[in-house]
Amino acid sequence: MTDDKRHQVWGDDPEERDASDALADFEATDRGKQERWHDRRSIYPIKVVGKFIGRNAKRVAVTIAGFGLILVGVALLVLPGPGWVVIFLGLAVLATEYVWAQRLLNKAKAQAIKAKDLALGKKQQRAQKKEARRAERDAKRGAPTAKPTTQDRPSTSPNEAAEG
C-alpha cells in the first residue's frame, strides 16, 4: 500500500519531519569551548529522542489511557460493572488523537441510536396493542371507554346527599 493511499485510508499518519534542523542545533556549539557532559556528540541521539518524546507525549499518554480503558471495559463485560460504558469511554479518549477511533465511535453511536429507536418502537407497539385489547374488552362488556369523573358519579355519602 502506498503512503498516499495509506494516509487517505487511515488519515492519522504524522507528517515526516526533517531531522537535519534538530541536529544542526546540537552541532552549532563552539568547538573551542570546554564541552559539558550533556553537550557531547555521544549524547545527541538521547537528546533527539527526548525532544521527540516531549513533542509526542500527549499522543502516547492518550494511547495508553484509551487502550487501558478499553481493556478494563472488556474485563467488566464479564465482571460486574458497566463494561460497555467504559469501552465507549476508551474509544472517546482514543478519538481525540486517532481518526480510526473517531470513525469507530461514530459507527457505535449510530448503532446505539438504531437500537434505542428499535427498542422504543417495540415498546410503543406493545402499549398500542395493550390499549387496543383494553378498548376491545371494555366494548364487549358494554362499559364506557372513558373513566367516570366525580361529577358523573352519584353521591353515596350522607353529607353529600344532604347538600345536594
Per residue in 108-133, pLDDT tens?
889 988 888 888 887 788 888 888 88
User: Does residue 160 lie in a domain region?
Assistant: no
**How much is the pTM?**
0.46
pLDDT tops 60 at residue 29? no
User: Does residue 151 lie in a domain region?
Assistant: no
User: Does residue 42 lie in a domain region?
Assistant: yes
User: Does residue 30 lie in a domain region?
Assistant: yes
Mean pLDDT of 142-157: 57
C-alpha cell at 59: 499522543
Q: Which residue has the higher pLDDT, 155 or 44?
A: 44
User: Does residue 161 lie in a domain region?
Assistant: no
Mean pLDDT of 142-154: 57
113: left (phi over 0), alpha (psi -120 to 50) or beta: alpha
Q: Please give the residue range of the domain that contains residue 118.
A: 3-142
User: Does residue 155 lie in a domain region?
Assistant: no
pLDDT tops 50 at residue 83? yes
Provide the domain count of the chain: 1
